[in-house]
Amino acid sequence: MPEKEFYENMYLYIRNLPEDEKTERTEYENRLAKCRQCSSLLNGMCRECGCFVEMRAAVRVRHCPLSRKRW
């Protein structure tokens, strides 16, 4: 899948998450700020779990996969 299409699909997935499953906006931004400072982040992907962090962080019940969770 072309990169542009992949990202469009990912943002559509995030937008369409049910509100009760979606991370609150401020918390979402806090999560991503922590990922941006993390050495495990590579090209938007977490090397610990293989997830795109924008997608993982958008789901309220998900957490950072490290044993000492950053979020």
Across 1-71, the runs of DSSP E, i.e. the strands, are: 41-42, 45-46
41 binds ligand SF4 (CB under 6 A): yes
- Two tokens at 25? 């906006």
Smallest distance from ligand SF4 to CB 17, Å: 18
60 binds ligand SF4 (CB under 6 A): no
Considering only residues 10, 38, 55, 59, which one is a binding residue for ligand SF4 as defined by CB under 6 A?
38
Task: Name the residue among 20, 21, 45 with its Cα closest to residue 32.
Answer: 45
Q: Give 10's contacts (C-beta < 8 A, 6+ positions apart).
A: 52, 54, 55
55 binds ligand SF4 (CB under 6 A): no
User: Which residues of this chain interact with ligand SF4, rule CB under 6 A?
Assistant: 34-35, 38, 40-41, 46, 48, 53, 64-66, 70
